[in-house]
Structure 1
Amino acid sequence: MAASAGGTQTPADEVPAPAGEAHALEPGSDSRAGGLSFCTKVCYGIGGVPNQVASSATAFYLQLFLLDVAQIPAAQVSLVLFGGKVSGAAADPVAGFLINRSRRTGSGRLMPWVLGCTPFIAVAYFFSWFLPPFTSLRGLWYMTFYCLFQALATFLQVPYTALTMLLTPSAKERDSATAYRITMEMAGTLMGAAVHGLIVSGAHSPHRCEDADLELPGPVTISPGAACLYSVAAAAVAVTYPVCIGFLHLGVKERPDPSAEASSQGVGFLAGLGLTVRHPPYLKLVISFLFISAAVQVEQSYLVLFCTHASRLHDHIQSLVLTILVSAVLSTPLWEWVLQRFGKRMSAFGICVMVPFAILLAVVPTAPVAYVVALVSGVSIAVSLLLPWSMLPDVVDDFQQQHPHGPGMETIFYSSYVFFTKLSGAGALGISTLSLEFAGYEAGACKQTEQVVVTLKVLIGAVPTCMILMGLCILMVSPTPQVPSQDTSRRLSLRRRTSYSLA
């Protein structure tokens, strides 16, 4: 929702702050009135861990599980991945619409949604990795539970991130809580890949094919041990949901929403979306990162498959995944400094650093090259994740300058960006997985055909390269948003603090 700014333009020094936030805007006044304890910030950060743990595990290992353990056709895997991403994307505006109209309870207005989703999302995640006893309807099984998991994950993430605004009226303390959240989420990303990868590492050992006839490609009987390992890994990740959300509920108290009374003055999601997509800087930013984010998702999804079937890197999969994630986490502060020192457009060129190395890995798939590629890919992934969230506030401020008397719609900007990038990821993963079907990928086979190997090399090298270069070209020619003056920035900031939801 977005509260209206009013009919006349008021000088920045005369803009009245909302009553519940007046003390947060006075220098030195927020440390006591709206201060958050260390325990509260840590508990809030812990609440963001489960979704990151689960998304990290699915990004690297779900496709391999569906193809080689569940052994469903690549065409069905394509539908599962596409359907799951679309479900998550479609749930974004729906979640904002429903949550915005929910009533406050004893636990608050947002916390009940987080608590209510937790047990269902844990169950949906576990069954997304469970091997059912039947074979004919496995594709439908995984489609159902993966779509349910993605939708529920969105219904948990939307109120959880919006909870930042209801922790305290102090902007400084909200920023501090957000820093704790991002730190915890990075730790969750590492933990998801590490824990899941270590548990299932034995399921894809080359020794499973010792008794198979490797001269002729063909499926190998599913090892009960492999299915059991994936179930154990899924249970280990699923249990993080009730544990971490329990810490969130016990350690964080939701304050009353100061914007609740003004919710009827907001702009609807569809109407706001129509306004945002007609704003040229936002439109070109979204289009450019549609390609870039899709390239990153394709690179992540096919790295494990490439190491398994197109190179002799079976024993290095876990180490390569951890190298990518550690590199991304450690390089994030460096890219933050580069953004401040050299500007955001110049920093965008850091994304294309991985291009020559990805091509090199496809041509020379050896362990030393793979580790170098993993290291550089992590650096590029860090800037590709940091840059859009750094540029979006500039785009929103530029829009607000051009519409000084309109409602604040920053939540629509952010949610629609997530919506579009999820759709792009769905399309990229769906189409690329379908290409494996056309290449003749045989689920569960110890040795794939040469056409499949070539397809995997194209997916790990040429496809991300083309999408990254296209995205950067669009980003470089997009109009530069005007940086608002100090007074304007303060006035926009005051207005944004009264606008939190979608409709």
Structure 2
Amino acid sequence: QRLKLSVCNKICYAIGGAPYQITGCALGFFLQLYLLDVAQLDPFYASIILFVGRAWDAVTDPTVGFLVSRSPWTRIGRMLPWILISTPLAVLSYFLIWYVPPFETGKVIWYIFFYCLFQSLQTCFHVPYSALTMFLSSEQAERDSATAYRMTVEVLGTVLGTAIQGQIVGMANAPCLPGPGEIVQKRSNAKHFVAPSQKAAYMIASGVICLIYILCAGVLFCGVKEQKGETLYLLNGFKSTTDTQTPHAFFQGIRLVMGHGPYAKLVVVFLFTSLGFMLLEGNFALFCSSTLGFRNDFQNILLVIMLSATLAIPFWQWFLTRFGKKTAVYVGSCSVVPFLIMVVCIKSNLYVTYVVSFVAGIGVASAFLLPWSMLPDVLDDFKVQNPESTGHEALFYSFYVFFTKFASGVSLGVSTLSLDFAGYISRGCSQPKEVDLTLKLLVSAAPIAFMLIGLAILYSYPIDEKRRQYNNKMLQEMRDSEADSESETTEISNMI
């Protein structure tokens, strides 16, 4: 008996991936702006919050992955209980991130606590959700199809997160404060004033996202049935690995994974390219509103980038199958460089910025798709070289996520700290020249430098199309050999 998935099952599973992308986009694009201009925090403290939150998020991924792999089977499955229990707590903590507490002392602790708490609970949702793919069906084609549905919904989730947060917040822009050359008294009187409508807008946006989070989790829980791992292995004609092998110790698994050369190189490559794109993501809203002067339009510019990236995903999928994945990384990353230079060199013009943002979004799409497309190749290469070593799939993915999230924490922390040194003025109608220069470096020169370093390391990445096809051939032979062995064993048992 084969476990087939209906289209409804696949859609329900895919919808479960939306909360991670929606909340991630809202936090990535808007949290820095919110902490500086609405919560009225000093840039130094904002940098601490952003770094600690992202670093904590990075640590929780492998930790939760390890705990999930050790969790017992229940009546509703092994993964679904994690999703069910974490959802209401994650929603509450996310909402409180966007609430400005009525006190000044302890405000930094408030944001660090709820930001870290949300990241932990979000990880308790997303790691089991990602692993749930392997417990949907006994057929690889069915799991691949469900993953394709999931990727489509996740890309749409990035657009939805940007649209909800940006459009609601954009309707309540607070008046800016006089710049350094204007009346100082006015600025000091208004320094700690934030329009109630602006605070309310952030809370309304977070409330809408919380509602979507709950609905998506509910659809996932009601529409997906988790199949027990042993059942899937037996239906495929294989013995369960849990029956035949003792799991490797956690740190032994880490040594095996990180000691695999192609994986280490790929992680370093995407560590640098991700640093570039994360610097761009974390500072672009501030750059548009402060340096370019588009305080009332920055949310629309961000939406254009994400819409463009969404539309470009099919193009990059075609490109990597036609020309190879390494070539796609080179072309995708390099295609962004001219437009990052243009956006800081050309005189501020809204229409030019829209065009540049749309074209840059095409390159951003490659950064979204290609890492997840290349990681399975590294896994296949590892299996070919280590046929007796199994059960490390979660470690490959969780440590890639760990390094990229840690890098994003460093990038956001350092960039916000740089604004503090440059003399950033919260909600200033104009900023000191040092701030404008810093923002230009953070959205142009620094991302370009990190991308070029990553591409230079990619040159030595050993898995090309020829090696990838060889690995696929070897894995197929290994599967056929194991299936024949199991069939012979079954025949002998029946004869006896």
The TM-score, its normalising length taken from structure 2, stands at 0.89
Q: Which residue of 1 aligns with 2:233?
A: none
On the 8 A contact 2:16/2:219 being kept in 1, the answer is: yes
Counterpart Cα distance in 2 of 1:103 and 1:230: 39
Counterpart Cα distance in 1 of 2:259 and 2:128: 28
**Identity score, percent:** 41
On the 8 A contact 2:179/2:431 being kept in 1, the answer is: no
Counterpart Cα distance in 2 of 1:409 and 1:237: 34
> Is 1:488 aligned to residue 474 of structure 2?
yes
Deviations 1:389-420 (A, max 9, x none): 22222222222222233335232111111111
> Aligned match of 1:162 in 116, 131, 143?
131
Q: Which residue of 2 aligns with 1:235?
A: 207
On the 8 A contact 1:163/1:254 being kept in 2, the answer is: yes
Counterpart Cα distance in 1 of 2:53 and 2:28: 12
Summarize the alignment of residues 271-420 of structure 1 with structure 2, pairs less than 5 Å apart: 271-349=252-330, 350-364=332-346, 365-420=348-403
> Aligned match of 2:217 in 229, 245, 248?
245
Counterpart Cα distance in 1 of 2:477 and 2:89: 42
> Is 1:449 aligned to residue 418 of structure 2?
no
Tell me the CA shift for residue 485 of structure 1: 5.0
Moved more, 297-306 or 380-389: 380-389
Distance 1:310 1:162, change over 3 A: same
Distance 1:411 1:73, change over 3 A: same
Summarize the alignment of residues 420-431 of structure 1 with structure 2, pairs less than 5 Å apart: 420-431=403-414
Distance 1:184 1:146, change over 3 A: same
Distance 1:117 1:494, change over 3 A: farther
On the 8 A contact 2:166/2:300 being kept in 1, the answer is: no
* Amino acid across the alignment from 1:227: K
The runs of 5 or more residues in structure 2 that have no matched partner are 231-239, 484-496
* Amino acid across the alignment from 2:340: A
On the 8 A contact 1:68/1:444 being kept in 2, the answer is: yes
Summarize the alignment of residues 61-140 of structure 1 with structure 2, pairs less than 5 Å apart: 61-140=30-109
Counterpart Cα distance in 2 of 1:211 and 1:464: 29
Distance 1:214 1:255, change over 3 A: farther
- Greater relative contact order: 1 or 2 (C-alpha under 8 angstroms, separation 6 or more)? 1
Deviations 1:459-502 (A, max 9, x none): 111111111111111112333363225541225668999xxxxx
Moved more, 118-127 or 318-327: 318-327
Summarize the alignment of residues 142-221 of structure 1 with structure 2, pairs less than 5 Å apart: 142-204=111-173, 207-209=175-177, 214=182, 216=184, 219=191, 221=193
Distance 1:96 1:314, change over 3 A: same
On the 8 A contact 2:288/2:294 being kept in 1, the answer is: yes
* Amino acid across the alignment from 2:474: T
Match of 2:78, SS state, is coil
Moved more, 212-221 or 273-282: 212-221
Q: Which residue of 1 aligns with 2:4?
A: 35
Distance 1:495 1:292, change over 3 A: farther
Q: Which residue of 2 aligns with 1:466?
A: 449
Counterpart Cα distance in 1 of 2:409 and 2:257: 22
On the 8 A contact 2:43/2:424 being kept in 1, the answer is: yes
Q: Which residue of 2 aligns with 1:47?
A: 16
Counterpart Cα distance in 2 of 1:227 and 1:190: 23
* Amino acid across the alignment from 1:235: G
Moved more, 367-376 or 378-387: 367-376
* Amino acid across the alignment from 1:166: F
On the 8 A contact 1:408/1:496 being kept in 2, the answer is: no
Counterpart Cα distance in 2 of 1:346 and 1:215: 55
Distance 1:215 1:363, change over 3 A: farther
When the two structures are aligned, how many residues end up with a matched partner?
Answer: 465
> Is 1:432 aligned to residue 415 of structure 2?
yes
Tell me the CA shift for residue 190 of structure 1: 0.9
On the 8 A contact 2:173/2:296 being kept in 1, the answer is: no
Moved more, 232-241 or 251-260: 251-260
The runs of 5 or more residues in structure 1 that have no matched partner are 1-22, 24-32, 498-503
Q: Which residue of 2 aligns with 1:58?
A: 27
Counterpart Cα distance in 1 of 2:213 and 2:171: 25
The TM-score, its normalising length taken from structure 1, stands at 0.88
On the 8 A contact 1:214/1:447 being kept in 2, the answer is: no
Deviations 1:122-173 (A, max 9, x none): 0110011101101122111111111111111111001111111111111111
* Amino acid across the alignment from 1:237: I
Deviations 1:334-383 (A, max 9, x none): 11111111111211122121112112211223213311221122111111
Counterpart Cα distance in 1 of 2:318 and 2:270: 21
* Amino acid across the alignment from 2:53: G
* Amino acid across the alignment from 2:4: G
CA RMSD of aligned residues (A): 2.3
Q: Which residue of 1 aligns with 2:237?
A: none
* Amino acid across the alignment from 2:10: K
Counterpart Cα distance in 2 of 1:147 and 1:424: 16
* Amino acid across the alignment from 2:343: L
Tell me the CA shift for residue 434 of structure 1: 0.8
Q: Which residue of 2 aligns with 1:475?
A: 458
* Amino acid across the alignment from 1:245: A
Counterpart Cα distance in 1 of 2:177 and 2:421: 24
* Amino acid across the alignment from 2:377: D
* Amino acid across the alignment from 1:412: L
Match of 2:229, SS state, is coil
Counterpart Cα distance in 2 of 1:427 and 1:191: 26
* Amino acid across the alignment from 2:381: D
Tell me the CA shift for residue 215 of structure 1: 5.1
Counterpart Cα distance in 2 of 1:492 and 1:92: 31
Counterpart Cα distance in 1 of 2:171 and 2:54: 28
On the 8 A contact 1:167/1:254 being kept in 2, the answer is: yes
